[in-house]
């Protein structure tokens, strides 16, 4: 389930309860994944360089899964490597029949910004998250490919068909997606907006502090504080200080 940013920007009430419910669901999903991986270790079915469908190479396995997608493809990209290269190449070369969601870490978005922009926009949405990601590909909610952490260079991966494990991976992806921001929004934000000082100012804008109180709390002059606020509002294209605080949450500059 994807939560609209506007809902996340409120405090207390429905948003607070929903956030707690989502967090609990994600914790349960993570526990299920860890249990599944543990079970495969015990059965000596730990992901190896050869996937369970006998495809010898990661890129070939991804091509096979994406090629058979009918409804949806969800992929998480964490940085350079065969997984990311294969995914971007496949999405660029093959018109998507299914709806594709590409979720990137901030580092991956910066490295692959140009290639992500060139991907066909029809039925494809690329977003950026500050959440911790694992390299994963989920197709039609029925099968997933997971690259083993710490073994990216060797290309070790597993193709998962277990319904519960695939559903758990979907939940983790959905949780990160709900707190993500559009690629275009992310790329147009100045790195300065992620500095500790600006983060402190944004938090006080969101909570409605007066300029005098906020400047005093973060130990800057009132003139400096107001100059920063003006620059922040301009970069976020906000018409009010409250709107700047809300957009900071929408763009992932502040936690929901």
Which option is the CATH number for 189-250: 1.10.645.10, 3.30.1330.30, 1.10.10.10, 3.40.1080.10? Answer: 1.10.10.10
Residue at token pair 């870490």: 105
**Cα R_g (the chain), whole angstroms:** 21
Look at residues 190, 171, 174 and name the one whose alpha carbon lies nearest to residue 251.
190
- Ordered per-residue pLDDT tens for the chain, 256 residues: 433 443 333 334 444 455 565 566 666 666 666 665 555 544 444 444 334 444 458 889 999 999 889 999 999 999 888 899 999 998 887 666 788 999 998 888 878 888 888 887 777 899 988 778 889 999 999 999 998 665 444 557 889 999 999 999 999 999 999 878 788 777 777 667 778 888 889 888 888 889 999 999 999 999 999 998 988 888 888 888 888 888 787 777 777 6
Look at residues 30, 46, 48 and name the one whose alpha carbon lies nearest to residue 38.
46
pTM of the model: 0.60
Tell me where in the chain the CATH 3.30.870.10 domain(s) lie: 7-185
Tell me where in the chain the CATH 1.10.10.10 domain(s) lie: 189-250
**Cα distances (angstroms) measured from residue 90 to each of 61, 96, 114, 184, 226:** 11, 9, 16, 21, 48
Quote the distance between the C-alpha of residue 178 and its chain's center: 8
Q: Please tell me the distance from the alpha carbon of residue 74 to that of residue 136, in angstroms, as a whole number.
A: 8
Q: Please tell me the distance from the alpha carbon of residue 219 to that of residue 172, in angstroms, as a whole number.
A: 39
CATH superfamily ID and name for 7-185: Endonuclease Chain A (3.30.870.10)
Element (H, E) at 111: helix 106-111
């Amino acid at each position: 389930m994807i939560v609209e940013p506007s809902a996340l920007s409120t405090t207390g009430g429905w948003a607070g309860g929903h956030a707690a419910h989502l967090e609990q669901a994600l914790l349960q999903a993570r526990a299920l994944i860890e249990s599944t991986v543990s079970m495969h270790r015990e059965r000596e079915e730990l992901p190896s360089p050869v996937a369970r469908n006998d495809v010898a190479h990661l890129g070939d396995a991804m091509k096979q899964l994406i090629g058979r997608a009918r409804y949806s493809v969800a992929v998480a990209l964490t940085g350079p490597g065969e997984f990311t290269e294969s995914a971007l190449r496949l999405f660029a070369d093959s018109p998507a029949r299914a709806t594709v969601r590409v979720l990137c870490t901030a580092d991956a978005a910066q490295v692959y910004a140009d290639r992500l922009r060139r991907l066909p926009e029809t039925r494809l949405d690329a977003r950026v998250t500050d959440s911790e990601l694992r390299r994963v590909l989920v197709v039609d909610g029925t099968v997933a490919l997971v690259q083993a952490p710490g073994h990216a260079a060797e290309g070790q991966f597993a193709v998962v068909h277990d319904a519960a494990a695939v559903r758990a991976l979907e939940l983790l992806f959905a949780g990160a997606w709900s707190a993500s921001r559009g690629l275009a929004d992310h790329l147009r934000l100045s790195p300065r907006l992620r500095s500790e000082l600006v983060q402190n100012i944004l938090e006080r804008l969101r909570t409605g502090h007066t300029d005098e109180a906020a400047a005093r709390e973060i130990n800057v002059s009132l003139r400096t504080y107001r100059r920063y606020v003006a620059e922040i509002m301009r970069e976020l294209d906000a018409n009010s200080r409250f709107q700047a605080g809300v957009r900071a949450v929408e763009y992932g500059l502040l936690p929901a």
